[in-house]
Structure 1
Amino acid sequence: MFADTGMMVRYWACPICDHIWTPCLDDWTSEDFQRRIYNDDYVLADPPFTYDRPARNAGLIDGIVGSLRETLAVLDWGGGNGLLARLLRDRGFREALSCDPFHGDGRPAPERRFDLVTCFEVIEHVPDQRALFGELAGLLAPRGALLLSTLIQPDDIRDQGLGWWYARPRNGHIRLHSQFSLEHCLAIEGLELVSLTEELHVAFRTIESPVVRALLEAEVQGPSLPGLPAFSAD
Structure 2
Amino acid sequence: MFSNTGIAVHYSSCSRCGHIWTACLDDWTARDFQDRIYNESYVLADPPFTYDRPARNSAMIDAMVGNFRRDLEILDWGGGDGLMARMLIERGFQNVISCDPFYGDTPRFPDGTFDLVTCFEVVEHVPDQRGLFAELARHTAADGAILLSTLLQPPDIGELRLGWWYARPRNGHIRLHSAKSLELCLSREGLRLKSLSGEMHVAYRDPESPLVEALLSAKVHAPSLPPARSLAEYS
The answer to whether the superposition gives a TM-score over 0.5 is: yes
What are structure 2's unaligned runs of at least 5 residues? 229-235
Once the 2 structures are TM-superposed, how far is the Cα of residue 105 of structure 1 from its aligned partner?
Answer: 2.9
Once the 2 structures are TM-superposed, how far is the Cα of residue 106 of structure 1 from its aligned partner?
Answer: 4.3
Query: Match for 1:158: what amino acid?
Result: G
Q: Secondary structure at the match of 2:8?
A: coil
- Structure 1 stretches of 4+ with a deviation exceeding 2 A read none
1:53 equivalenced with 2:58 (yes/no): no
Once the 2 structures are TM-superposed, how far is the Cα of residue 6 of structure 1 from its aligned partner?
Answer: 1.1
Which residue in the other structure is 1:148 paired with?
148
**Larger mean Cα displacement after TM superposition, 74-83 or 218-227:** 218-227
| 1:151-166 mapped onto 2 (5 Å cutoff) | 151-166=151-166
Which residue in the other structure is 1:28 paired with?
28
Residue by residue, what CA displacement relative to the aligned partner does 1:175-217 show, whole Å, maximum 9, x if unpaired? 0000000000000000000000000000000111111111101
Once the 2 structures are TM-superposed, how far is the Cα of residue 227 of structure 1 from its aligned partner?
Answer: 4.2
Residue by residue, what CA displacement relative to the aligned partner does 1:27-79 show, whole Å, maximum 9, x if unpaired? 00111101110000000000000011001100000011011000100000000
Query: Match for 2:58: what amino acid?
Result: A
Residue by residue, what CA displacement relative to the aligned partner does 1:155-191 show, whole Å, maximum 9, x if unpaired? 1000000000000000000000000000000000000
Query: Match for 1:161: what amino acid?
Result: R
The alignment's C-alpha RMSD in Å is 0.9
CA distance in 1, matches of 2:175, 2:86: 28
Count of matched residue pairs: 228
Give % identity: 65
TM-score, with structure 2 as normaliser:
0.95
Q: Secondary structure at the match of 2:116?
A: strand
1:116 equivalenced with 2:116 (yes/no): yes
CA distance in 1, matches of 2:15, 2:106: 35
Once the 2 structures are TM-superposed, how far is the Cα of residue 223 of structure 1 from its aligned partner?
Answer: 1.0
CA distance in 1, matches of 2:135, 2:46: 25
What are structure 1's unaligned runs of at least 5 residues? 229-234
Q: Secondary structure at the match of 1:75?
A: strand
Which residue in the other structure is 1:87 paired with?
87
Query: Match for 2:184: what amino acid?
Result: H
CA distance in 2, matches of 1:223, 1:137: 24
Once the 2 structures are TM-superposed, how far is the Cα of residue 222 of structure 1 from its aligned partner?
Answer: 2.5
